[in-house]
């Protein structure tokens, strides 16, 4: 149903489906914000405010912008925790209800848990996150022997690849002996610490 008009025209629509996507660009970061409205209203523009959490816990305004489009790109951002709010504004300057979303520009947390599933001459490693983040993938490193110094993983282990899970399969992976995975989260911003997991193949 159409919203009732005011003396000055149409009530600005609500903001819905607000999302952010972090993009890396030469050591700095961009954020592409997208949203839509339940109905199209002529003459409506959108007001955006981007705040970053300061060290004392307060919010500091990083950028404010206006656009007639349902997306906007913030450039030149640095790592931090951000809050973005978007609201519609009609041609008379009346503002609609804002929508807000929070995002972080930071290296990912290390996996909170690694599930190892034994198979015939193979082991499947599936990292789990404490908080799901669709932007995170994982680097998988593999070793026949335990690496006591986690900082030596890249020198001592074999890099398998980057994915959401990995099946290490080989005729050399035999049941009854331990094999070691070293796994870390990666995203556009950086890499987490390695987490070690020990598993065996099944008979």
User: With b meaning 16 or more CB within 10 Å and e meaning fewer, what string describes 9-48?
Assistant: ebbbbebeebebebeeeeeebbbebebebeeebeebebbb
Answer with the one of 50, 80, 105 that is the final residue of a domain: 105
- Looking at the structure, tell me whether residues 57 and 137 fall in a common domain: no
- Looking at the structure, tell me whether residues 80 and 18 fall in a common domain: yes
- What CATH number does residue 60 fall under? 2.60.40.10
Alpha helix stretches (DSSP H) within 20-148: none
The predicted-structure confidence for 159-171, as pLDDT tens digits, reads as follows 999 999 999 998 8
Query: Per-residue confidence at 1, pLDDT binned at 50, 70, 90?
Result: very low
What's the structural domain count of the chain? 2
Answer with the one of 89, 105, 121 that is the final residue of a domain: 105
Residue 62 pLDDT greater than 70, yes or no: yes
Residue 9 pLDDT greater than 60, yes or no: no
Nearest alpha carbon to residue 52 among 63, 37, 41: 63
- Looking at the structure, tell me whether residues 21 and 89 fall in a common domain: yes
Mean pLDDT of 71-78: 95
First-to-last C-alpha distance (Å) of the chain: 64
Residue 7 pLDDT greater than 60, yes or no: no
Q: Are 196 and 181 in contact (CB under 8 A)?
A: yes
Residue 8 pLDDT greater than 70, yes or no: no
- Looking at the structure, tell me whether residues 134 and 87 fall in a common domain: no
Q: Tokens 């983040």 label which residue?
A: 133
Torsion-angle region of 17 (φ positive above 0: left; ψ -120 to 50: alpha; else: beta): left
Residue 93 and residue 11: Cα distance in Å, rounded? 10
pLDDT for res 155: 97
Percentage above 70 pLDDT, the chain: 96
- Looking at the structure, tell me whether residues 15 and 41 fall in a common domain: yes
- Domain region containing 141: 113-199
pLDDT for res 35: 98
- Dump the DSSP string for 103-133: EEESPPPPPSEEEEEEEBTEEEEEEE-SS--
pLDDT for res 186: 96
Cα-flanking dihedrals φ and ψ of residue 132, to 5°?
-65, 130
pLDDT for res 178: 96
Residue 89 and residue 40: Cα distance in Å, rounded? 13
Mean pLDDT lowest among 2-11, 35-44, 57-66, 124-133: 2-11
Q: What is the pTM of this model?
A: 0.74
- Compute the CA torsion angle 195, 196, 201, 202 (nearest 10 deg): -80
Mean pLDDT of 25-35: 89
Answer with the one of 105, 126, 149 that is the final residue of a domain: 105
Query: Per-residue confidence at 142, pLDDT binned at 50, 70, 90?
Result: very high
Q: Are 83 and 102 in contact (CB under 8 A)?
A: yes
Query: Per-residue confidence at 40, pLDDT binned at 50, 70, 90?
Result: confident
pLDDT for res 154: 97
């Amino acid at each position: 149903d159409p919203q009732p008009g005011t003396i000055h025209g149409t009530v600005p629509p609500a903001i819905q489906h607000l999302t952010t996507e972090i993009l890396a660009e030469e050591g700095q970061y961009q954020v592409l914000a997208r949203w839509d409205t339940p109905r199209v209203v002529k003459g409506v523009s959108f007001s955006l405010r981007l705040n970053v959490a300061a060290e004392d816990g307060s919010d500091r305004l990083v950028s404010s912008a206006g656009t007639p489009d349902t997306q906007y790109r913030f450039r030149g951002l640095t790592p931090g925790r951000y809050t973005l709010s978007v609201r519609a504004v009609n041609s008379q300057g009346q503002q609609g209800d804002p929508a807000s979303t929070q995002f972080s520009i930071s290296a990912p947390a290390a996996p909170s848990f690694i599930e190892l599933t034994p198979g015939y001459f193979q082991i499947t490693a599936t990292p789990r996150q404490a908080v799901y983040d669709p932007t995170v993938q994982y680097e998988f490193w593999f070793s026949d022997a335990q690496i006591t110094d986690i900082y030596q993983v890249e020198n001592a282990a074999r890099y398998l690849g980057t994915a959401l899970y990995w099946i290490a399969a080989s005729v050399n992976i035999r049941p009854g002996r331990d094999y070691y995975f070293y796994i870390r989260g990666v995203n556009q911003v950086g890499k987490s610490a390695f987490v070690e997991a020990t598993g065996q193949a099944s008979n």
